[in-house]
Amino acid sequence: MVTEIMQKVESSNIDNISRTDAYFTYFLNHSDILWSFLASMVSRNAGWNMCDLEGKWFPQVLEAETRKQLYLTYERANWLIFQDAYPQLLLYEYSTKLNTPLFHLLRYFHVSSFMSNEWAYYWREKDKRRLMTALIINEQNIIQKPVIEHPIYYKKVFHSLLFAFQDYLHFSAVLFPTHHGELYGASVYGFQEVDNRIDLGKRLADILFDPEIFTKVFHFAKTTAHTGSRHDYEQFMKNKEETTPVLRETYPVIKHHIHLPNEWTNHPRVKNKWFNTAITHRHPWEMTHWYLNKQKHLRFCIMCYKLLQMKKRI
């Protein structure tokens, strides 16, 4: 069973598209595991952000090496999360088939004791919201040391002027599209802090599983193939913007290496506030106009930057 799960994880953790599809297919078969649908929609956003780097605008102001480093940051973080989370999902699937909890096997996948306890609790209590929150807490701690605090990413990505600019102006947002051209979602400030990312995940979950929004976003996900291009959702918008390329025509498959389990896996430290069920939304859920305005602002800033560079050369 462990070997079979390892093989399934490897075959589904190839790139952003395979991960997105795996999460969503899992949700279709196990609709009680809410996190899998949330993960599929967040993964779509990661794909769109990756392809943005090779779209019309960013290559005008970012060197190829910088764009590559940003892409690798997205790719590494999402690979690590999938490598940790998907075995958990599959073990739950096996547990339901055999009608017996198998979460003691999570140790073979270096999953934290925190999640082993949370799955055991879910098996007893069937608290779907708590399990989703636990998985949000886990995923953000999984990437904190090896990605957010990694010396290379820390210096070249999270301390770059571009990232600081995007973070300050809340360009970093997760969007949930619909076939009506609406965009729902939330943005985050202070992305480097694990508390802020967990808070964002909880806010996104609260939005996504609102009954009215869920119906529309689920329909979008079920009927719209994920390609990595923003055309996936911009095709339904009235004010269509420039689209980005598709992922599999833009990036090669990256071979990742598994390092030793990080500090979170060995010694999970859980803050009580992470499980706080009170959700505070800082902005309206509907973000269509916000998105269009932010795109205009970003492109205006890029054009200003290019003009300044031209003046310097003169």
Tokens 């589904």 locate to 12
Residues of the chain with pLDDT under 70: 150-171, 241-242, 259-263, 314
Structural domains counted in the chain? 1
Residue 161 has what pLDDT? Answer: 54
The whole-number pLDDT of residue 235 equals 94
192: CB partners within 8 A, 6+ apart: 148, 158
The pLDDT value given to residue 94: 98
The reported pTM is 0.93
Predicted local distance difference test score (pLDDT) of residue 170:
46
Token pair recorded at residue 96: 């339901």
> Contact 104/116 with Cβ under 8 angstroms?
yes
pLDDT of residue 162: 57
Cβ–Cβ under 8 Å, residues 67 and 160 = no
**Rg (the chain; Cα; Å):** 20
The angle that helices 113-125 and 128-142 make with each other, rounded to 10 degrees, is: 170
Q: In terms of residue numbers, what domain contains 209?
A: 2-313
Q: What is the pLDDT of residue 169?
A: 45
- Per DSSP, the chain holds a count of helices (H) and strands (E) of 13, 2
- Let me know how long the chain is: 314
